[in-house]
Amino acid sequence: MGGSAGGFDALAAILLAFPPDFALPALVVQHLHPSDDASFARRLARTTRLPVVEPCDKERIERGRVYTAPANYHMLVERNETISLSVDQKVNWSRPSIDVLFESAARAWGGPVIAVILSGASADGAESMRAVKDAGGLTIAQEPASADSPLMPRAAIDTGAVDEALRPEEIGRRFLQLGSRNAECERA
Protein backbone atom coordinates (compact mmCIF):
# COMPACT_ATOMS: atom_id res chain seq x y z
CA MET A 1 0.00 0.00 0.00
CA GLY A 2 1.23 3.46 -0.74
CA GLY A 3 0.14 6.93 0.22
CA SER A 4 1.22 10.48 0.76
CA ALA A 5 -0.78 13.55 1.81
CA GLY A 6 -3.90 12.25 3.57
CA GLY A 7 -2.69 8.66 3.27
CA PHE A 8 -2.35 8.05 7.00
CA ASP A 9 -6.07 8.33 7.72
CA ALA A 10 -6.96 6.06 4.79
CA LEU A 11 -4.34 3.53 5.86
CA ALA A 12 -5.57 3.59 9.46
CA ALA A 13 -9.15 2.91 8.27
CA ILE A 14 -7.95 -0.07 6.22
CA LEU A 15 -5.81 -1.56 8.99
CA LEU A 16 -8.62 -1.16 11.52
CA ALA A 17 -10.47 -3.92 9.64
CA PHE A 18 -7.60 -6.42 9.97
CA PRO A 19 -8.03 -8.97 12.79
CA PRO A 20 -5.05 -9.97 14.96
CA ASP A 21 -4.75 -13.25 13.02
CA PHE A 22 -4.75 -11.61 9.57
CA ALA A 23 -3.22 -14.05 7.08
CA LEU A 24 -1.27 -11.64 4.84
CA PRO A 25 1.70 -9.31 5.32
CA ALA A 26 1.15 -5.63 4.53
CA LEU A 27 3.98 -3.50 3.16
CA VAL A 28 3.46 0.24 3.35
CA VAL A 29 5.21 3.17 1.74
CA GLN A 30 4.11 6.52 3.10
CA HIS A 31 5.96 9.61 1.89
CA LEU A 32 7.79 10.78 4.99
CA HIS A 33 10.03 13.66 5.95
CA PRO A 34 13.65 12.43 5.69
CA SER A 35 14.18 13.03 9.41
CA ASP A 36 11.24 10.87 10.54
CA ASP A 37 12.55 8.81 13.47
CA ALA A 38 10.07 5.91 13.18
CA SER A 39 7.29 8.10 14.59
CA PHE A 40 5.12 7.17 11.58
CA ALA A 41 5.45 3.46 12.45
CA ARG A 42 4.72 4.13 16.14
CA ARG A 43 1.66 6.23 15.27
CA LEU A 44 0.42 3.59 12.82
CA ALA A 45 0.85 0.88 15.48
CA ARG A 46 -1.79 2.64 17.58
CA THR A 47 -4.38 2.10 14.79
CA THR A 48 -4.10 -1.66 14.31
CA ARG A 49 -4.03 -4.93 16.22
CA LEU A 50 -1.17 -6.16 14.03
CA PRO A 51 2.51 -5.63 14.84
CA VAL A 52 3.92 -2.67 12.90
CA VAL A 53 7.58 -3.02 11.96
CA GLU A 54 10.03 -0.58 10.47
CA PRO A 55 12.21 -3.31 8.90
CA CYS A 56 15.93 -3.75 8.73
CA ASP A 57 17.65 -4.69 5.49
CA LYS A 58 17.19 -8.41 4.66
CA GLU A 59 14.43 -8.85 7.26
CA ARG A 60 12.17 -11.83 6.52
CA ILE A 61 8.58 -10.95 5.64
CA GLU A 62 6.08 -12.64 7.97
CA ARG A 63 2.31 -12.91 7.73
CA GLY A 64 0.17 -10.75 9.95
CA ARG A 65 2.66 -7.89 10.16
CA VAL A 66 2.66 -4.38 8.76
CA TYR A 67 6.03 -3.27 7.39
CA THR A 68 6.57 0.47 6.92
CA ALA A 69 9.39 1.84 4.80
CA PRO A 70 11.86 3.83 6.91
CA ALA A 71 12.30 7.50 6.09
CA ASN A 72 14.77 8.14 3.27
CA TYR A 73 14.97 4.45 2.22
CA HIS A 74 13.30 2.66 -0.66
CA MET A 75 11.73 -0.62 0.47
CA LEU A 76 11.91 -3.55 -1.97
CA VAL A 77 10.63 -7.13 -1.92
CA GLU A 78 13.06 -9.92 -2.76
CA ARG A 79 12.20 -13.33 -4.22
CA ASN A 80 13.39 -15.03 -1.03
CA GLU A 81 10.62 -13.21 0.91
CA THR A 82 12.88 -10.65 2.52
CA ILE A 83 12.90 -6.87 2.45
CA SER A 84 15.75 -4.88 0.99
CA LEU A 85 16.36 -1.25 1.83
CA SER A 86 18.03 1.08 -0.63
CA VAL A 87 19.26 4.66 -0.74
CA ASP A 88 19.20 4.76 -4.55
CA GLN A 89 18.06 7.96 -6.26
CA LYS A 90 14.60 9.31 -5.50
CA VAL A 91 11.82 8.12 -7.78
CA ASN A 92 9.00 10.60 -8.43
CA TRP A 93 10.82 12.95 -6.05
CA SER A 94 10.34 10.40 -3.26
CA ARG A 95 12.42 8.07 -1.15
CA PRO A 96 10.72 5.88 -0.11
CA SER A 97 8.89 5.49 -3.41
CA ILE A 98 5.69 3.55 -3.96
CA ASP A 99 6.75 2.72 -7.53
CA VAL A 100 9.92 1.04 -6.24
CA LEU A 101 7.95 -1.15 -3.81
CA PHE A 102 5.24 -2.14 -6.28
CA GLU A 103 7.67 -2.90 -9.13
CA SER A 104 9.84 -5.08 -6.88
CA ALA A 105 6.78 -6.91 -5.52
CA ALA A 106 5.51 -7.58 -9.04
CA ARG A 107 8.92 -9.02 -10.05
CA ALA A 108 9.31 -11.09 -6.89
CA TRP A 109 5.78 -12.38 -6.31
CA GLY A 110 3.69 -11.74 -9.43
CA GLY A 111 0.05 -12.81 -9.16
CA PRO A 112 -0.43 -12.80 -5.37
CA VAL A 113 0.42 -9.08 -5.09
CA ILE A 114 -2.32 -6.62 -4.15
CA ALA A 115 -1.24 -3.04 -4.85
CA VAL A 116 -3.20 -0.21 -3.22
CA ILE A 117 -2.78 3.51 -3.94
CA LEU A 118 -4.14 5.88 -1.32
CA SER A 119 -4.54 9.63 -0.93
CA GLY A 120 -1.60 11.73 -2.10
CA ALA A 121 -0.51 14.75 -4.10
CA SER A 122 1.84 13.14 -6.62
CA ALA A 123 1.75 10.40 -9.25
CA ASP A 124 4.04 8.01 -7.34
CA GLY A 125 2.72 4.47 -7.66
CA ALA A 126 0.61 5.10 -10.75
CA GLU A 127 2.99 3.59 -13.30
CA SER A 128 3.91 0.59 -11.17
CA MET A 129 0.24 -0.39 -10.94
CA ARG A 130 0.64 -1.60 -14.53
CA ALA A 131 3.59 -3.82 -13.51
CA VAL A 132 1.46 -5.42 -10.78
CA LYS A 133 -1.51 -5.87 -13.13
CA ASP A 134 0.72 -7.31 -15.90
CA ALA A 135 2.14 -9.79 -13.38
CA GLY A 136 -1.40 -10.99 -12.57
CA GLY A 137 -1.84 -9.04 -9.33
CA LEU A 138 -4.86 -7.09 -8.11
CA THR A 139 -4.74 -3.28 -8.25
CA ILE A 140 -6.88 -1.05 -6.07
CA ALA A 141 -7.04 2.73 -5.80
CA GLN A 142 -8.76 4.72 -3.11
CA GLU A 143 -11.94 6.23 -4.53
CA PRO A 144 -10.70 9.78 -5.33
CA ALA A 145 -13.82 11.40 -3.85
CA SER A 146 -12.91 9.84 -0.48
CA ALA A 147 -9.27 11.00 -0.56
CA ASP A 148 -8.00 14.11 1.21
CA SER A 149 -5.67 14.56 -1.75
CA PRO A 150 -7.15 12.79 -4.82
CA LEU A 151 -4.26 13.34 -7.28
CA MET A 152 -2.45 10.07 -6.51
CA PRO A 153 -5.43 7.70 -6.79
CA ARG A 154 -6.70 9.63 -9.84
CA ALA A 155 -3.27 9.28 -11.55
CA ALA A 156 -3.36 5.52 -10.91
CA ILE A 157 -6.91 5.20 -12.26
CA ASP A 158 -5.98 7.24 -15.34
CA THR A 159 -3.35 4.62 -16.30
CA GLY A 160 -6.17 2.12 -16.93
CA ALA A 161 -4.36 -0.38 -14.70
CA VAL A 162 -6.66 -0.14 -11.65
CA ASP A 163 -9.04 -3.06 -11.12
CA GLU A 164 -11.11 -1.50 -8.33
CA ALA A 165 -11.66 1.97 -6.85
CA LEU A 166 -12.92 1.73 -3.27
CA ARG A 167 -13.31 3.81 -0.13
CA PRO A 168 -10.77 2.94 2.63
CA GLU A 169 -13.23 0.91 4.74
CA GLU A 170 -14.21 -1.03 1.59
CA ILE A 171 -10.53 -1.73 0.91
CA GLY A 172 -10.22 -3.16 4.42
CA ARG A 173 -13.19 -5.46 3.84
CA ARG A 174 -11.78 -6.49 0.44
CA PHE A 175 -8.50 -7.50 2.08
CA LEU A 176 -10.43 -9.59 4.60
CA GLN A 177 -12.11 -11.46 1.73
CA LEU A 178 -8.79 -12.03 0.00
CA GLY A 179 -7.00 -12.98 3.24
CA SER A 180 -9.63 -15.58 4.17
CA ARG A 181 -9.51 -17.02 0.64
CA ASN A 182 -5.71 -17.24 0.90
CA ALA A 183 -5.94 -19.05 4.24
CA GLU A 184 -8.46 -21.54 2.82
CA CYS A 185 -6.16 -22.32 -0.13
CA GLU A 186 -3.23 -22.99 2.20
CA ARG A 187 -5.25 -25.40 4.35
CA ALA A 188 -6.26 -27.45 1.28
The catalytically annotated residue of 4, 94, 119, 122 is: 4
4 is catalytic: yes
CA 107 to chain centre: 15
**One-letter amino acid identity for 96?**
P
Beta-strand (E) ranges in 35-185? 52-53, 59-60, 66-68, 74-77, 82-86, 114-117, 138-142, 164-166
3 state DSSP class of 127: helix
Beta-strand (E) ranges in 14-104? 26-30, 52-53, 59-60, 66-68, 74-77, 82-86
Contact 2/116 with Cβ under 8 angstroms?
yes
124 is catalytic: yes
The catalytically annotated residue of 104, 124, 128, 149 is: 124
CA angle 63, 105, 130 (to 5 degrees): 130
36 is catalytic: no
Catalytic residues: 4, 31, 124
